[in-house]
Amino acid sequence: MISLRGVSLTYPNGVRALDHVSLEIGKGDFVFLVGHSGTGKSSLLRLLYREARPSSGEITVDGIRVDKLRNGRVPALRRHLGVVFQDFKLLSDKTVWENVAFAMQVTGAHTKDVMRQVPRVLDLVGLSHKSRMYPGELSGGEQQRTAIARALVNNPKILLSDEPTGNLDPANTTEIMELLLRINLKGTTIVVATHNQAVVDRMRRRVVRMEDGRIVTDEERGYYYLGLGQGQVLSG
Amino acid sequence: MDWGKVKFFLGEVLRNFTRNAGMQLTAIGTVAITIVLLGAFLFVRAALAGFGNQLMDQIEISTYLKADASSAQIASIQHLISSDPRVLSVDFVSKKEGLAELRARTRGEIDTSLLTENPLPDKLRVRVREPELVPAVAASIRRIDGVDNVVFGEQVVQRLLQLGAVLRRVGIAVICVFLAVAGIIISNTIRLTVFARRREIAIMQLVGATNTYIRMPFICEGLIDGVLGSAIAVLVLAVAHAALWPRLLEALPFVSLPAAAYNPGLLVGELFLAGAAIGVVASWISVGRHLRT
């Protein structure tokens, strides 16, 4: 589903964000990207949704060669991907319903499909009863659930999330992670960049650890800190 | 037709438009001022050109015939000149008629009764289809046997032709400058509204909206700015015209200003088109700067 081969990324200011990163993520996988701030987690995600282009290396997402993708084809890629951020990125002057519908409407979706799909995803994230409220009237967890609903409304095969629980308290964090798990069980491939140790340790999922723009370990059922788990698989 | 889509789109345009009302007013005002200047300029140019054309139309070649020319010779000269395709009409003016005309024109200030004999020669009054052709036709008439002299206000014709050419060139340059200045100001105004909506644009790009789709509301916004600005400008021009035109006619009684030198419908159409074009092009450019990924 996602494949990176020898990917490097150097920003125009000379900072080397990624250094020969190779990674394979299969269909329906749930992967944590962990590491300190500034180790390249966000940069890696940005490459996947073509917010940035690699300096070298090959990137394939759902069969699309992202590193070679022309600007005009980027919208098509983004419709296969859902992206969720720490700061939710909701429009404050639109209701929950409108924020979610917006993602479909701006891709030119038929109203019939919008009317069918939006209630479905709002039900999935448990916000049907708050669909007429504005983001400012919601808790952080509810705002993030709205953002997840928006990311899912176009039925993406992959959901990328960059610190989705970074602004949330533990109760809301648990809620969001359980929601992501439910979405994963429906077959969506999920990549979560995080430095929330509690979440990673409780979920016991695949953990890809990054340091200084390189992948240092890749464990099948890992912990946040290396050495806590059993059956570690160290890779290049 | 998916009315839900239409409603959503119009809602977005309206929301955009009302939310940045201050900036919209700036843009509309800029368009209005530009279009007023442009309209006044086009009007003056049309009036000048019309005035020039009117003068041109009055230009005639006076072909004075030799005093000893027989009536058969005159007829053949007349026939020869009128067979030229550039010539519109040839009228014979006898020396008697010529004297009567002179009397009429001078309104009795010259006492022609003092004359013991008519000093005027017979002449042919030649009108030409295009003012530009006057000098050439005059030259060819001058070569005809039996023609004594040819007069056509050479300098006036040259000046008018030059004036026409200069007006055309200067006019195009001035219009281009006007449109460019307005375009830059509007483009900056719309850039502010684009900047105010950069979060929205970022989200639209994130969920896979095409650049064309993202551009569309801004283009509509530019179009509305342009059309509203033009409407105000046309209104201002109409009021100014109604107030000033009669006074101008009064102030310049000896100049017969051509009322029909311009077509008001066409001028209004041109101004609206110019306003709309500035708005659309300016917003296209300013959104484009934010879309490069």
Summarize pLDDT for B151-203 with one digit per residue, the tens.
Answer: 877 777 777 778 778 877 888 888 888 778 878 877 887 788 788 888 888 88
Nearest to A184 by CA among A86, A82, A100, A88: A82
At B10, is the pLDDT very low, low, confident or very high (cuts 50, 70, 90)? confident
| CB proximity list for B130: less than 8 A, separation 6 or greater | B86
8 A C-beta contact, residue A114 and residue A105: yes
Q: How far apart are CA A168 and CA A143, in angstroms?
A: 10
Most A CBs within 10 Å, among B10, B204, B207, to test the A interface = B207
Of A51, A75, A110, the CB nearest to B208: A75
Cβ-based contacts of A115 with chain B (< 8 Å): 4
pLDDT of residue B104 exceeding 50, the answer is yes
A74 touches B: beta carbon within 8 Å: yes
A64 touches B: beta carbon within 8 Å: no
8 A C-beta contact, residue B233 and residue B36: yes
A195 touches B: beta carbon within 8 Å: no
Q: How far apart are CA B282 and CA B284, in angstroms?
A: 5
pLDDT of residue B113 exceeding 90, the answer is no
What share of chain B in percent tops pLDDT 90? 5
What share of chain A in percent tops pLDDT 70? 96
Per-residue pLDDT, averaged over B75-85, amounts to 83
Max alpha carbon distance in chain B (Å)?
Answer: 101
pLDDT of residue B289 exceeding 80, the answer is no
**HSE on the CB side for A229, CA within 13 Å?**
22
**So what's the pLDDT on residue A235?**
46
For residue A25, what are the β-bridge partners?
A: A2
ipTM of model: 0.81
**So what's the pLDDT on residue A231?**
46
Pick the range with the lowest mean pLDDT from A127-141, B2-16, B257-271.
Answer: B257-271
**So what's the pLDDT on residue B253?**
60
8 A C-beta contact, residue A17 and residue A40: yes
Tens digits of residue pLDDT in B225-253: 899 999 999 999 889 888 887 887 777 66
- Angle, CA of B283, B287 and B290, to the nearest 5°: 160
- Angle, CA of A111, A114 and A116, to the nearest 5°: 110
Tens digits of residue pLDDT in A205-228: 999 999 999 999 998 888 888 755
**Min Cα separation A160/chain B (Å):** 12
Tokens of B287: 């959104």
**So what's the pLDDT on residue A228?**
55
**So what's the pLDDT on residue B292?**
61
pLDDT of residue A83 exceeding 70, the answer is yes
**So what's the pLDDT on residue B258?**
58
**So what's the pLDDT on residue B38?**
85
**Contact assignment for A154 to B207 by CB distance below 8 Å:** yes
> Which of A56-70, B95-109, B253-267 is predicted most confidently?
A56-70
**So what's the pLDDT on residue B262?**
64
Most B CBs within 10 Å, among A47, A105, A107, A117, to test the B interface = A105
pLDDT of residue B217 exceeding 90, the answer is no
**Contact assignment for B293 to A49 by CB distance below 8 Å:** no
CATH number of the domain located at residue range(s) B60-152 in this protein? 3.30.70.3040
> Which of A113-117, B72-76, B260-264, B270-274 is predicted most confidently?
A113-117
Of B5, B8, B209, the CB nearest to A75: B209
Please compute Rg for chain B using Cα positions.
30
Which string of DSSP letters, residue by residue, matches B205-264?
HHTT--HHHHHHHHHHHHHHHHHHHHHHHHHHHHHHHHHHHHHHHHH-TTS---TTSS-H
Per-residue pLDDT, averaged over B204-209, amounts to 87
Tokens of A214: 């390189």
**So what's the pLDDT on residue A10?**
93
A12 touches B: beta carbon within 8 Å: no
| Average model confidence (pLDDT) across chain B | 80
Tens digits of residue pLDDT in A38-74: 899 999 999 999 999 999 999 999 999 999 999 888 9
DSSP A218: E
Tokens of B277: 């074009």
Cβ-based contacts of B210 with chain A (< 8 Å): 75, 107-108
Q: How far apart are CA A17 and CA B254, in angstroms?
A: 82
Q: How far apart are CA A98 and CA A93, in angstroms?
A: 9
**HSE on the CB side for A108, CA within 13 Å?**
11
Sequence ranges of the domains in chain B: 3-55+158-291, 60-152
**Contact assignment for A75 to B210 by CB distance below 8 Å:** yes
pLDDT of residue B88 exceeding 70, the answer is yes
pTM confidence score? 0.70
Pick the range with the lowest mean pLDDT from A87-96, B248-257, B261-270.
Answer: B248-257
Cβ-based contacts of A111 with chain B (< 8 Å): 2-5, 8
**Contact assignment for A78 to B200 by CB distance below 8 Å:** no
Chain B residues touching chain A at CB-CB below 8 Å:
2-5, 8, 15, 199-200, 202-211, 213-214, 292-293
**Contact assignment for A107 to B213 by CB distance below 8 Å:** yes
Cβ-based contacts of A49 with chain B (< 8 Å): 206
**Chain A residue with minimum CA distance to B4:** A111
Which string of DSSP letters, residue by residue, matches B49-64?
HHHHHHHHHH--EEEE
Interhelix angle B198-206/B154-196, nearest 10 degrees:
70
**Contact assignment for A71 to B293 by CB distance below 8 Å:** yes
Of B2, B206, B292, the CB nearest to A111: B2
**Chain B residue with minimum CA distance to A52:** B293
- Cβ atoms < 10 Å from Cβ of B246: 10
DSSP A90: -
Per-residue pLDDT, averaged over B38-51, amounts to 79
pLDDT of residue B68 exceeding 50, the answer is yes
**So what's the pLDDT on residue A19?**
92
8 A C-beta contact, residue B20 and residue B195: no
At A183, is the pLDDT very low, low, confident or very high (cuts 50, 70, 90)? very high
Q: How far apart are CA B288 and CA B23, in angstroms?
A: 19
At B216, is the pLDDT very low, low, confident or very high (cuts 50, 70, 90)? confident
At A236, is the pLDDT very low, low, confident or very high (cuts 50, 70, 90)? very low
pLDDT of residue A94 exceeding 70, the answer is yes
At B263, is the pLDDT very low, low, confident or very high (cuts 50, 70, 90)? confident
**Chain A residue with minimum CA distance to B15:** A93
At B256, is the pLDDT very low, low, confident or very high (cuts 50, 70, 90)? low
Residues 15-54 of A with CB under 8 A from B: 49-51
> Which of A144-148, B138-142, B179-183, B239-243 is predicted most confidently?
A144-148
**HSE on the CB side for B21, CA within 13 Å?**
2
**Contact assignment for A79 to B200 by CB distance below 8 Å:** no
**Contact assignment for B209 to A107 by CB distance below 8 Å:** yes
**So what's the pLDDT on residue B14?**
84
Q: What's the burial of A229, exposed, middle or buried (CB within 10 Å: 0-12/13-18/19+)?
A: middle
Per-residue pLDDT, averaged over B88-100, amounts to 81
